[in-house]
């Protein structure tokens, strides 16, 4: 299969492929997603195959309007409507109970709920509206690899496996959306993202976070809760304290292989980098670091032959919760220690 690259003025061509049951990667403000007609069970199943994704990992349903959600979900509560009014289009995914039989188990992972999102990207919203159906929208990468923030990242992973890529340039946020479960008695954050706990609570009151480990025989309610994610070929190690970075560099200088380091500019400016260490700037602060995290992991995966990547850690609060969630999964929980 030839994977065609579509520009924003070719939205109608991309939408036609969706209507034909083909797979088309699409841009959002967070990362690139992999789209297929969510009402076409075979097309949704092909998404799992293209990504190498476990079949019990549910797919996000991406929509262009609230009316599209109402075709599939149970009647929306006042709290859900408040969230949609405040954060849609945007980086919030909402898990909702479904009307019976409206979406296939292939999309839902066998659950009676589904996660819905309306991304803040006009090109993609136009494609969905033109196709006339919601699309599934997991990240457009090989399952487990860093999420794509550029069309070329999608092409690297999925060239020949999907029909097209709708290229709208680099994404703005850089990590996937916040996922909140509104099918439970207390609204529950299943995945932190650009929309923070504080922002959610300002709209609907108290929410809680779900940190439980999803068991082998348990179906996760949302992506990213069960399987290792965001992992480049190199081993990532989180450096929790700025004072430990030089120790990490001293260790790196003793290795025969190349080593990567991802940190903010202030940290990099004060490090003595050995000749075998390549630095990738995460910018000035946690906001830029969150935006650039996947780009950095992809850089070392595609353009450098490093064996280890040291990544800066941040306080696990606000936007830092989203950053730490992703970098911890990419590292498999490994943190640098100088002991």
Task: List the binding residues.
Answer: 30, 53, 57, 113, 117, 139, 147, 177, 191, 230
DSSP string of 262-289, one letter each residue: EE-HHHHHT----TTEEEEE--SSHHHH
CB count within 10 Å of CB 325 equals 20
Supply the DSSP symbol for 47. H
In DSSP terms, 179 is beta-bridged to 93, 191
The strand order across the sheet containing 308-312 reads 235-239, 308-312, 259-263, 277-281
User: CB of 188 within 8 A of CB of 201?
Assistant: no
Asked if 305 and 206 touch (Cβ cutoff 8 Å), the reply is: no
- Which residues define the annotated binding site for L-threonine? 30, 117, 177
Cα distance between residue 137 and residue 330, in whole Å: 21
Residue list, annotated binding site for ATP? 53, 57, 113, 139, 147, 191, 230
CB 7 within 8 A of CB 164: no
Give the rounded distance of the alpha carbon of 50 from its chain centre.
Answer: 17
8-state DSSP, 169: -
* Number of neighbouring beta carbons within 10 Å of residue 327: 26
């Amino acid at each position: 299969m030839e994977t065609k690259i579509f520009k924003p003025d070719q939205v109608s061509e991309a939408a036609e492929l969706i209507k034909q049951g083909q797979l088309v990667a699409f841009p959002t403000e967070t990362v690139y997603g992999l789209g297929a007609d969510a009402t076409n069970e075979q097309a949704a199943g092909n998404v799992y195959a293209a990504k190498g994704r476990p079949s019990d990992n549910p797919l996000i349903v991406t929509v262009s309007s609230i009316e599209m959600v109402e075709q599939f979900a149970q009647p929306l509560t006042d709290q859900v409507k408040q969230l949609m009014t405040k954060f849609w289009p945007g980086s919030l995914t909402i898990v909702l109970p479904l009307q019976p039989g409206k979406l296939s188990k292939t999309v839902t992972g066998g659950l009676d709920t589904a996660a819905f999102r309306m991304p803040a990207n006009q090109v993609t919203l136009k494609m969905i509206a033109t196709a006339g159906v919601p699309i599934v929208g997991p990240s457009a990468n090989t399952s487990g690899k860093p999420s794509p923030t550029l069309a070329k990242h999608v092409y690297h992973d999925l060239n020949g496996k999907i029909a097209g890529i709708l290229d709208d340039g680099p994404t703005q946020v850089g990590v996937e959306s916040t996922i909140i479960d509104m099918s439970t008695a207390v609204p529950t954050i299943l995945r932190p993202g650009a929309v923070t706990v504080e922002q959610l609570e300002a709209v609907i009151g108290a929410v809680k976070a779900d940190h439980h480990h999803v068991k082998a025989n348990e179906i996760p309610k949302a992506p990213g809760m069960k399987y290792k994610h965001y992992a480049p070929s190199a081993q990532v190690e989180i450096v929790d304290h700025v004072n430990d970075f030089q120790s990490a560099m001293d260790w790196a200088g003793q290795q025969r292989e190349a080593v990567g380091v991802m940190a903010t500019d202030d940290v990099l400016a004060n490090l003595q980098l050995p000749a075998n260490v390549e630095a990738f700037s995460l910018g000035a602060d946690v906001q830029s670091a969150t935006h650039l995290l996947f780009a950095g992991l992809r850089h070392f995966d595609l353009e450098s032959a490093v064996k280890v990547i040291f990544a800066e850690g941040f306080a696990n609060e606000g936007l830092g919760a989203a950053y730490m969630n992703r970098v911890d999964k990419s590292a498999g929980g490994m943190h640098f220690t100088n002991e």
